[in-house]
Amino acid sequence: MAVFSRETDGGSVISVPAPEVKLTRGALQIRWKLSTGGKVSISEPYVDGRIDKAHFHKGLVEIYTVHEGWIAICFDQGMALGLTVCCIKPGNSCTFVARRSMAHAVYQPLGAVFVTQTVGKPVPNPERNNNDWYPTDASTQARYEEAIGAWLVPQM
């Protein structure tokens, strides 16, 4: 079993046993599977400007909570409203809920530390090791990246 250790602002070190540690798409991800069928992940990017692949879940709801830095989430509100990008910071509407079948992508700048909690009953995708994770098509991914890029320009 791996141990996730992180120094706090006060200089003390927090260490937590983590059964699964992965390096995925430019981020360190530590995962704990819950007995309820969901999971909790802590993500910390090690590459600046990482945009997650746009995806959705058929049976799960994802809850994002930011603890340090910020993240931006792009999601589709439907035909009438289109794509929305929201910035999540600690203490400022710091939780975002991705509903079932809601396509979303996350922009993670360097220094962001956030927790993703999944709840619900997973619908396995055999093309993704039976995880409840379904990619969007290439044109949707491009639209999400464009929306996040347009949102980032005035922020810089």
Predicted confidence (pLDDT) per residue in 96-120, tens digit: 777 888 889 988 888 788 788 888 8
Domain count within the chain: 1
The token duo for 92 is 């400022």
What pLDDT is stored for residue 1 in this prediction? 43
CB 132 within 8 A of CB 60: yes
Among 14-23, 50-59, 60-69, name the one with the lowest average pLDDT: 14-23
* 81: three-class secondary structure by DSSP: coil
Instruction: Give the C-alpha separation, 68 to 76, whole Å.
Output: 25
User: What DSSP element (H or E) covers 140?
Assistant: helix 138-155
Question: Per-residue pLDDT for 147 more than 80?
Answer: yes
Instruction: Give the C-alpha separation, 54 to 152, whole Å.
Output: 17
What pLDDT is stored for residue 2 in this prediction? 46
What pLDDT is stored for residue 25 in this prediction? 60
Confidence of residue 156 (pLDDT cuts 50, 70, 90): low
Tens digit of each residue's pLDDT (9 = 90 or more) over 2-48: 444 555 555 544 555 555 555 556 666 777 766 655 666 777 766 66
Q: How many C-beta atoms lie closer than 10 Å to residue 143's C-beta?
A: 19
Residue 77, judged by CB atoms within 10 A of its CB (0-12, 13-18, 19+), counts as exposed
User: What DSSP element (H or E) covers 90?
Assistant: none
Question: Per-residue pLDDT for 86 more than 60?
Answer: yes
Q: Which of 37, 39, 38 is nearest to 29 (CA)?
A: 39
CATH number at residue 25: 2.60.120.10
CB 108 within 8 A of CB 52: yes
Question: Per-residue pLDDT for 134 more than 90?
Answer: yes
The average confidence (pLDDT) of the chain is: 75
Q: 53 versus 15: which is more confidently predicted?
A: 53
Domain span at 45: 2-155
